[in-house]
Amino acid sequence: MPFMYILECSDHSFYVGSAWNLEQRLLQHELGEGAEYTRHRLPVRLAYFEEFDRIDEAYRREKQVQGWGRAKRIALITGHWEVLPALSKKPKRLRRSESG
């Protein structure tokens, strides 16, 4: 089954990926044979994953989550889905007359 996954790296950054075989891909990351990004941030820890029926769905979700900021990824990882919509909204900009 295909997966979208999030790894937490040793520097506390996140890596988002997708794979057919999650266990095999995690082993590759741990051995330094995964992505260039994780290779320099070992060890890594699986923080989150989702399972899909098709690899294109996992890849689409990977690309979506890659576009998210840290706070939104943490909300997903910790199961605080109710705050995801609020984290998706762009902050309102002050009009020139309001900013002083």
DSSP letter for each residue of 25-54: HHHHHHTT-S-HHHHTS-S-EEEEEEE-SS
* pLDDT single digits (tens) 9-36: 999 999 999 999 999 999 999 999 989 9
* pLDDT single digits (tens) 31-52: 999 899 999 999 999 999 999 9
Distance CA 18, CA 74 (A): 18
DSSP state of 20: S
Q: Write down the pTM of the prediction.
A: 0.85
Domain chopping of the chain, boundaries: 3-88
Distance CA 2, CA 48 (A): 14
Give bridge partners of residue 3 from the DSSP assignment. 19, 51
Pick the closest to residue 37 from 58, 63, 67, 17 (CA basis): 17
Q: What angle do CA 71, 73, 6 make, to 5 degrees?
A: 150
Q: What is the CATH number assigned to the segment(s) 3-88?
A: 3.40.1440.10
